[in-house]
Amino acid sequence: MSKTYGIISDLHCTNLQIISLAIDILKQEEINALVLNGDLIGDQTTYHPQDYLATILNYAGESDLETYVLPGSHEEFHLFEPVVDHFSKKFNNIINTSDYQKVEQNDHHLIFLPGSDWRTGDAVNHGYSVEELNGSGIYKHKDQYIRVFNLHDLKKLVTEPDKTILFSHIPRRFSNPETGVDTAEFYEAQQPFQLNHKPVDVGSIFPKIVGDQLSKQGAPLQFKRENRGNEILQKLYTELGVTKNITGHFHESAGKAHDSYGNPLEEGLFVSHLFYNASCLDRLMIGMVTIDNNKVAYENIDLRNYSN
């Protein structure tokens, strides 16, 4: 029996009405479950981050959709965890994937890798980290806490690769910058310089929208477009036989999908290998994945094609 998952991620400064619209559209598409795949905290809005997240989880809870919640690059442990915990108790359809990293369905296994190898703001020291240096657990750091997920735990979680659908905010590394789900566009500092009276070191990275402006002002920046996925995951997925991975994180690659070798895949085509950057809601992109007989197919949804 097939099952369809709707995916929403990378919300950032997205208007809350758009988030409600996205969930409504996915319900109209008759999805069976929802995955909130990281960067859910509204750290660029006028809302308090916890109020923003609470509103999203309330929408999801009231939808009655089985909803899996992952932190990404922006979530701070002390802000994120209490809200998810509250709503997972209020609604029995809300699942905190930090506590339930593997869910075995009848014909497929869902595995979740919460967190990110790159974090921003206070999440650098107080967020959700994926790494191989420390064991999985909660660590105190500078009077706050950080939650670590060791990448090698996947060796215990992935028991049947053919049945495995792995959801993570971050993708593995690829080598196809034109079509890759992990392709990023950014500026890198080539020389030290001052920005707002603060030093910027060589190698510092700026998002394209910021770098465009700084470059026009004469900052010594170089534009780059390259694959930036996780190299450890690249090796682990090959070793473990993981061939189905649904991600987000790299906004400019939202909606892209390809196989393990970087060959682009068509929407609606059921395949055994699928690496899919499913959503960037602040670019009005969400996605769906349907699983049937160990094969998967994806579909992009562009919210610009809908109106309230």
pLDDT by residue (tens digit) across 213-262? 999 999 999 999 999 999 999 999 999 999 999 999 999 999 999 999 99
Same domain, yes or no: 74 and 102: yes
Last residue of a domain, one of 192, 210, 227: 227
Mean pLDDT score of the chain, rounded to an integer? 95
Q: Number of folded domains in the chain? A: 2
Same domain, yes or no: 157 and 11: yes
Residue numbers of the domain that contains 213: 183-227
Same domain, yes or no: 107 and 157: yes
Nearest to 300 by CA among 29, 69, 71, 59: 29
Residue 13 confidence class, pLDDT cut points 50, 70, 90: confident
Same domain, yes or no: 155 and 236: yes
Which CATH number does the domain housing residue 93 bear? Answer: 3.60.21.10
Residue 43: the pLDDT is 67
Same domain, yes or no: 201 and 241: no
Output the pTM of the full model.
0.95
Same domain, yes or no: 188 and 281: no
Same domain, yes or no: 154 and 22: yes
Report whether 61 contacts 89 (CB < 8 A).
no
Same domain, yes or no: 245 and 216: no
Same domain, yes or no: 301 and 155: yes
Residue reference for tokens 């190898």: 117
Helix H or strand E segment including 208: helix 208-216
Q: Is the pLDDT of residue 283 over 70?
A: yes
How far apart CA 298 and CA 25 sit, in angstroms, is 16
Same domain, yes or no: 216 and 260: no
